[in-house]
Amino acid sequence: MKAIWNGAVSFGLVNIPVKLYSAVEQRPVSFKLIHETDGNPIEYRRWCAKGEHEVPWEEVVKGVDIGEGAFYVFSKQELSTLRPKRSDLIEIVQFVEQGALDRVYVDAHYYLGPEKPGKKAFFLLRETLQRTMKMAVGSFVMREREHVCVIGPYGPGLLLSTLNYADEVRSMEAIPDLGERPELREQELDLAEQLIEKLSVRSFDLSQFKDRYRERLIEAIDKRDAKHLVMMDEVVKATPESNLLDALKASLES
């Protein structure tokens, strides 16, 4: 596995050399837009909407839309001074209980591995976090962005999870129909609990779930002679409230 970032975890006067690895590898089927009549790929060009001509890269600048058709333009020099400075340190600023993190703040996961010179310090940090049931909270710069992160024991090593910033997480108060809760009958709750118990498993095995759309695409590609892949969307209907008890009973009997 190839590391995507090299640096050190720093807290107090301790620096622990580490490598960062992607924990997740997305596997989508990549599509390209094709001109149907002649089979050639479609290109995107930098087109000036007002002058109706293609714009060379050296004449392209970045601007922030401030509304009413106005843009605040930044030069490349300005942007370079505003970007976070490149750093090879994950600076730990505090430690929290393992259950203190709200799931909605978690963004992406990365594995942390040790560098040989700091292997003992790496495992000392891991075992201490394991014994204290704590996670380290810190920040670091990767790909020209400053990330806030948490680090905790995972398997034989450490897992670093980047977090969304507080002002990036939307409030659930904006969701309609969450304010008034309908009255739930005790019989409905009992049957729902029985159904949950019936479908509960001792251990969760994610491998039983597959990306069926991707698998069907790959199967169609392997056949070679299939020119089109037709997907029929199934409409999922909500259970009417009047039939809720009957649906729960039928689910338990199935």
Is 0.75 surpassed by the pTM of this model?
yes
Q: Which residues does the chain have with pLDDT short of 50? A: 226, 229-230
Q: What would the DSSP string read from start to end of 137-176?
A: EEEEEETTEEEEEEEEEETTEEEEEEE--GGGSPPGGGST
Burial class (CB in 10 A: 0-12, 13-18, 19+), 203: exposed
- Give per-residue pLDDT as tens, 134-151: 999 999 999 889 999 999
Query: What's the DSSP call for residue 23?
Result: S
CATH code, residues 5-25+83-167: 2.40.290.10
Place of tokens 């891991």: 126
Domain ranges of the chain: 5-25+83-167, 185-253
What's residue 156's pLDDT? 94
What letter represents residue 48's amino acid? C
pLDDT at 228: 56
Q: Are 188 and 245 in contact (CB under 8 A)?
A: yes
Instruction: Please give the DSSP secondary-structure letter assigned to residue 191.
Output: H
Contact criterion met (CB below 8 Å) for 87 and 141 = yes
Sequence-distant (≥ 6) Cβ neighbours of residue 168 within 8 angstroms: none
From 20, 24, 26, 25, select the one nearest 142 (Cα to Cα). Answer: 20
